[in-house]
Structure 1
Amino acid sequence: MKATIQQKLTEIEKAYGIKILYSCESGSRAWGFPSPDSDYDVRFIYSRPIEEYLTIKPKKDHLSFPINDELDIYGWDISKVLHLITKSNTTPFEWLQSPVVYKEDTTFKDELWTLCQSYFYPRNNIHHYLGIARGAMETMQGEDIKIKKLFYVLRPMLAAWWCAEKNTIAPMSIYPLMDLLTDDLRKKVLSLIELKSTANESYLIEIDQDIKTWIDRTFDYCMEVSLQLAKKDFDQKISDEFFRKAILI
């Protein structure tokens, strides 16, 4: 599948006259808990010819494509990515940590990751992750929840907790995040990962009571921590400098 994805990316570059600077897997395959029917969530960052940035005509800052043959592909212009980074948006933070990379300019990736550290603000990230977890919990059917949705609670809760406790960008993979858990809870989550590897994403499961208690307590704790953090604004100067350099690559 990797070769197929890389060929698709090459075709996109030629069809749209862009340069893909970085492309990776996002979603369950990168988070560490794929199901047998998981899609391939391919994401990429691209730049356009410099003259297209030097115009007053509005330009679309993203490319999206219909899901086809298990492939879910979309990309963001480097201008959009940098704008989101200056807002401490979690998505670029995650993409740059993906363990599955399809295309990359190593220098670009490393320098962009370094830039991300300057714009990390735990409150924004905590709220992002808590929002995902809350939305997934709302899909519960009585005491049951789809196993896919359960992991849309577990990983975001762990990531929010990481940001609250360590004041650093949360790892993308669930495995280092689980270092925060007690041995008992870690074993239970590992068992769920094993189950998910053999079950379809729509498989219904009852949430373990210990896990449910941990979710509720951690949600409240992370919200409390985030509300104690003052609002923070970032200087965009270094991101502007990065942008000018990136479009000249």
Structure 2
Amino acid sequence: MAGVGAQEVVVSLEVPDLSEVVAEQSHGLLFATVSGAHLYGFPSRDSDVDLRGVHVLPLTEVVGLKHGPETKERMWVRDGVEIDLVTHDVQKFCRLLTRPNGYVLEQLLSPLVVHTTDGHRQLVELATGCLTSRHAHHYGGFATTQWRLFEKTGEIKPLLYTFRALLTGVHLMRSGEVVAHLPTLLEKLDGPEYLGPLVEAKVLGEHRALAGVDARPAPERLEADLAHWHEELQRARESSELPHEPPAFDEVHDFVIRTRLGQVGG
């Protein structure tokens, strides 16, 4: 499934049947999608499955003194695969959606759909009106955090996360399209050629070290490319036609109310 502004890529997913996980949830879900390394296009053989979604608290858990969980988290192993499940209540998710938060955009627009509803489809359509030039700050900041982690650990994973974030941000600023899939981004933006082999190398292990890869780039090349793509992100933000504030804020507000009142199909 791909909505307006979503990435138009085909991503395969080899995981256990996750529909049973959805059915087990105590609160109804508007949607559930797969995020993380599977969405980004570089899962390892031992990667966990990052399952993300939106649940809807009933009025009885919102209007009284006892408030239901805004965020629900659980990690467990199913059929030999570790599953990391995080869902937000619709109000919290939509609050994040109207801020420059790339995480929730990618979760909402992920083509790896485990569970969908009419409410999900409506929210996907609203997503275009939530894209702003300020999302560049999110992706630049996330890239900086992951680079520091790479400097500390020397692992391939945070290095791929670094460039994935930068390329996603650049492409979003230029096109208004959310693409989180690194192999697709490398084709669209002519990204560093060594990232393709590193994606293949990461398949062998979630925490594989860059030092163990024969075709690894020199540190000077990595630092030069890091600086280049940070600069590209800054230039793309400055020239972006995306608005500074989300024009769909009022529509998303109305969506939350209608969903809470049971007027949006689940």
Scaled by the length of structure 1, what TM-score is found?
Answer: 0.83
Residue aligning to 1:45: 54
- Where 1:12 maps in the other structure, the secondary structure is coil
- Of 174, 181, 185, which aligns to 1:173? 181
- Of 232, 241, 249, which aligns to 2:245? 232
> Which consecutive aligned stretches of 4+ in structure 1 deviate over 6 angstroms post-superposition?
227-230
Q: Report deviation, 1:174.
A: 1.7
Across the aligned residues of Structure 1 and Structure 2, the Cα RMSD in angstroms comes to 2.6
- Of 195, 206, 230, which aligns to 2:201? 195
One-letter amino acid of the structure 2 residue matched with residue 236 of structure 1: F
Change (3 A) 1:71 1:155: same
Q: Report deviation, 1:110.
A: 2.1
Residue aligning to 2:124: 113
Change (3 A) 1:6 1:213: same
Listed as ranges, the gaps of 5+ residues in structure 1 are none
Q: Report deviation, 1:27.
A: 0.3
- Where 1:60 maps in the other structure, the secondary structure is coil
Q: Report deviation, 1:34.
A: 0.5
Residue aligning to 2:147: 137
**In 2, Cα distance between equivalents of 1:7 and 1:50:** 26
CA deviation string 1:48-93 (max 9, x = no partner): 2233333354443110124545111111111111111111321221
Change (3 A) 1:243 1:131: same
- Percent same amino acid at aligned positions? 21
Residue aligning to 1:100: 112
One-letter amino acid of the structure 2 residue matched with residue 28 of structure 1: A
Residue aligning to 2:156: 147
Q: Report deviation, 1:240.
A: 2.0
- Where 1:70 maps in the other structure, the secondary structure is strand
Higher normalized helix content (fraction of residues):
1
Per chain length, whose mean CA-contact separation is higher, i.e. which structure has more relative contact order (CA < 8 Å, sep 6+)?
A: 2
CA deviation string 1:146-195 (max 9, x = no partner): 011111111001012112322x142122233223433xx45422211111
Residue aligning to 1:20: 29
Residue aligning to 1:222: 233
**In 2, Cα distance between equivalents of 1:19 and 1:41:** 19
**In 2, Cα distance between equivalents of 1:59 and 1:207:** 49
8 Å Cα contact 1:93/1:113 also seen in 2: no
8 Å Cα contact 1:147/1:196 also seen in 2: yes
Pair 1:70 & 2:78 matched: no
**In 1, Cα distance between equivalents of 2:185 and 2:36:** 16
Listed as ranges, the gaps of 5+ residues in structure 2 are 1-14
- Where 2:166 maps in the other structure, the secondary structure is helix
**In 2, Cα distance between equivalents of 1:135 and 1:70:** 25
One-letter amino acid of the structure 2 residue matched with residue 194 of structure 1: E
Deviates more, 1:66-75 or 1:207-216: 207-216
8 Å Cα contact 1:82/1:243 also seen in 2: yes
Residue aligning to 1:2: 16
Count the aligned residue pairs: 238
Change (3 A) 1:232 1:8: closer
Residue aligning to 1:160: 169
